[in-house]
Structures are given as structure tokens and as C-alpha cells.
Chains A and B, each alone.
Chain A
């Protein structure tokens, strides 16, 4: 089962998107997963502002698809949709991805809230995906 991961700014702008395995970007379910993720954004807002946690666990579900969320200190949202059979891996993935994101934002050449174009970031996210989701 393919997984889609997105980073969305605090202003609901899509900054980054990746699918695991990478080839599944083109499959027909990719659009669906993307749609599910964006539909969950409204749900996310009250959770972000009621919990002090970074990792928000499962925030929404759609049929057999579960949406997991993590919010960064800079109120950026890391979302992931999967079939829910690998919750521990999802949590670890999101936490590692957060660290990558945090390092990215340290770069004076990256402006937080703008689309992430760094190829090294892309590569490392893919590596993480491979590590946790095979």
C-alpha cells in the first residue's frame, strides 16, 4: 500500500509532497490520498490549537486510509496518509522528517513557508520513507 507524505504551511500552503514507494506518485490512488490529506486540514486546525504535543497521532480516517499529523514548533504541518498498519513506523518517520525539516529551515537561503525545492531534502525524505516503509 502506497503512502503519501506532505508538508503544509501554517497558512495551508502545500510546501512539499512525497510518495512511498516513489513510483506510486503516478498511480490512481495518489490523487485520492492527496484529496484526503487536504480534506483533513480543517479538522487539523482545532487539534493543533488544543494539544501541546508535536505528534498528533491519527487525526482523520477515510475508508481504510488513516491520516496522521505532526505539527512543528513553527506551526508547520507534516501529514501522512497510510493504511494504518504501521503506526509506530509512521510516528518515527514523522519525527525524523521533522528533524530534517527543522534543519532545512535553519538554512538562511530557505524561507519558512515557501515551497521546498532542495533536492537534498527530497533525497533524504525518500531515504526515510524507504527506511520505515520498505
Chain B
């Protein structure tokens, strides 16, 4: 796709250029999906809308030139996190998937608060002039490599003539920290949701040990459970 072609288009139809069009598309999808997430009661529906929303934001990232982040978003967010969430939904939502409706009062309050928060944020968004100047549409180099280099610690993206006191710092340390952090989180999550071993004696054992087992002991309780269950 040729970027300068896009800028040419922009001039023809001021109201529509590639970037604007796609931006509107993705933004629209993202926002609508986000609202749908809030509105829908069924958790699985929420998951689907969330997928759409996150996918759209991935698109936005692509549009903004952050390809690597967009791909990462797609892979980790949509591929990993949401699958995890859906797993969560499946495992936990045995019965009342739909049942949990929040009381009307909360909804109204939340709405008001949301409006207030939105107003504040949007006002802030437009408060700075430099932000509003339309993007130059400058074709930028793909950021994957510099990003990789930055993570490893060499900042290739800074421009020489910047009057910086110190060169921009590389991200090696945070990168390592995040890796260790992820490891710890995984171990933690695995531990938290670990399979809790419960020894269920085989029927044969039960029979043999039935008489020797004290009536009150847990084994007896569990065995009766099982035995009861198995009748």
C-alpha cells in the first residue's frame, strides 16, 4: 500500500482518506463493541464483543504505525488473555451465566459517572493544541526493529540533534524485569489454581479399610461420600 497515494487521495476528498476511513472504521468498531460489552449481560457475549473491541484497537495500532504492538495485541491480548477469560467463564459459569444483573440504581449512577469521566477526559484530550494538529502522514519506518533494539538496550530511534541531557535509556532492565515478572505470575497463577490433590480410595480399599476406619475421620467421610456416590 503506497502512503503517498493516500495523501493524494486526502486532497481529493478532504472528508475521506484511507487513514481517516480506516480510523473511523476501527474506532467505531472498538467503541461500539466496548459499549456492547458493558450492555450485554451474557458473559460469553461480553467476551465476543471484547474480542471485537480489542481486534479493532489492534487495527488502530496498525494504523498508527505501531505494527509490532498491534501484532502483539492480537497475539497476546486476543489470542491469549481473552481465551483465558473465556476459559474462566466456562469453568466458573456452571449455572447462572445470565442471571447476574446489576440493580438499576447502580446503572444510573454508573452512567452519570461515566458521562462525567468522559467529559473530563475528552476535554483534556482537546486541551493541547499540538495534539490536534493533523498528522503529517509521514511514512514512518517500521518500528519493529528499533523497538527490538530498544528493548535490548540500544536506542536507535533518537535523532542526533535532540538537545537531550542524557541519551534516552534503553529498556533492557524493564524487559528483564517483565520477563521475570511473567515467570513469577505464571507460577503464582498455576499455584493458585493448582489441582488440589484429593486422594479418593478405591472401592476395594474402602471395603478392606471400612471397618478399620474411624467413623469420624475424613477418609471415612470421603469414602462414605464416594461409596454413597457410587451406589
The answer to whether A and B belong to the same complex is no
List residues of B whose CB falls within 8 A of some A CB: none
List residues of A whose CB falls within 8 A of some B CB: none
